[in-house]
A and B are shown apart, each in its own frame.
Chain A
Amino acid sequence: MRIIDADVHESFASVKDLVGYLEEPWKDIVARGAWRGFTQPFAYTTPGAGNRADVKTADGTASAADYDQMRRQLLDLYPITHAVLTGYFYPAMMKMQFEFASALAGAYNDWMIDHWLAKDARFLGSVHVAPQSPEAAAREIDRIGPHPRMVQVLLPIATLAYGEPFYHPIFEAAERHGLVIALHHTTMAEGALGMGRYYIERHMLLPQAMMAEVISLMCNGVFDRYPSLRFVLLEGGWTWLPHLMWRMDREYKALRQEVPWLQQLPSRHVVERIRVSTQPTEDIDARQWEKVADLIGTDELFVFSTDYPHFDFDSPEAALPAGLSDGAKRKILWDNAARLYGLS
Chain B
Amino acid sequence: MRRRVCAVAELPPGSMAGFMVGTVPVVVVRTVSGAFRGVVGRCPHQGGPLHLGLLGGTTLPSAPGEYRYGRESEIIRCPWHGFEYDSATGRCLGDPERMRVRTLDVVARDGDVLVDL
Which A residues are closer than 8 A to B by beta carbons?
Answer: 45-48, 52-54, 283, 311-315, 317-319
Residues of B within 8 A of A318 (CB): 45-47
Q: Are A47 and B46 in contact (CB under 8 A)?
A: no
Question: Is B25 located at the chain interface by the 8 A CB criterion?
Answer: no
B 25-48 to A, binary, CB cutoff 8 A, 1 in contact else 0: 000000000000000000001111
Q: How far is the CB of A148 from chain B (nearest CB, A)?
A: 34
Q: Are A53 and B79 in contact (CB under 8 A)?
A: yes
How far, in whole Å, are A318 and B78 apart by their CA atoms in the complex? 15
Which residue from chain A places its CB closest to the CB of B52 in the assembled complex? Answer: A54
Q: Are A48 and B46 in contact (CB under 8 A)?
A: no
Which residue from chain B places its CB closest to the CB of A53 in the assembled complex? Answer: B79
Which residue from chain A places its CB closest to the CB of B77 in the assembled complex? Answer: A47
How far, in whole Å, are A53 and B50 apart by their CA atoms in the complex? 10
Residues of B within 8 A of A315 (CB): 46-48, 80
How far, in whole Å, are A315 and B47 apart by their CA atoms in the complex? 8
How far, in whole Å, are A315 and B45 apart by their CA atoms in the complex? 10
| Cross-chain contact of A311 among B45, B47, B52, B80 (Cβ < 8 A) | B80
Which B residues are closer than 8 A to A by beta carbons?
Answer: 45-49, 52-54, 77-82
Q: How far is the CB of B38 from chain A (nearest CB, A)?
A: 20
Q: Which 8 A/B pairs are nearest by Cβ-Cβ distance? A: A53-B79, A54-B52, A318-B46, A47-B54, A54-B79, A315-B46, A46-B82, A47-B77
Q: How far is the CB of A235 from chain B (nearest CB, A)?
A: 14
Residues of A within 8 A of B79 (CB): 47-48, 52-54
How far, in whole Å, are A174 and B82 apart by their CA atoms in the complex? 38
Residues of A within 8 A of B45 (CB): 283, 318
Q: How far is the CB of B103 from chain A (nearest CB, A)?
A: 21
| Cross-chain contact of A312 among B49, B53, B54, B81 (Cβ < 8 A) | B81
Which residue from chain B places its CB closest to the CB of A48 in the assembled complex? Answer: B79
Residues of B within 8 A of A47 (CB): 53-54, 77-79, 82
22 residue pairs A–B, Cβ–Cβ below 8 Å: A46-B82, A47-B79, A47-B82, A52-B48, A52-B79, A52-B80, A53-B52, A53-B53, A53-B77, A54-B48, A54-B53, A311-B82, A312-B81, A313-B46, A313-B80, A314-B46, A315-B46, A315-B47, A315-B48, A317-B46, A317-B47, A318-B47
Residues of B within 8 A of A319 (CB): 46
How far, in whole Å, are A313 and B49 apart by their CA atoms in the complex? 13
Residues of A within 8 A of B52 (CB): 53-54
How far, in whole Å, are A46 and B77 apart by their CA atoms in the complex? 9
Residues of B within 8 A of A317 (CB): 46-47
Q: How far is the CB of B75 from chain A (nearest CB, A)?
A: 11
Residues of A within 8 A of B46 (CB): 313-315, 317-319
How far, in whole Å, are A52 and B82 apart by their CA atoms in the complex? 9
Residues of A within 8 A of B81 (CB): 46, 311-313
Give the one of A47, A283, A313 with max B CB within 10 A.
A47
How far, in whole Å, are A166 and B79 apart by their CA atoms in the complex? 42
Q: How far is the CB of B101 from chain A (nearest CB, A)?
A: 15
Q: How far is the CB of A338 from chain B (nearest CB, A)?
A: 24
Q: Are B49 and A54 in contact (CB under 8 A)?
A: yes
Give the one of B45, B46, B52, B79 with max A CB within 10 A.
B79
Residues of B within 8 A of A45 (CB): 82
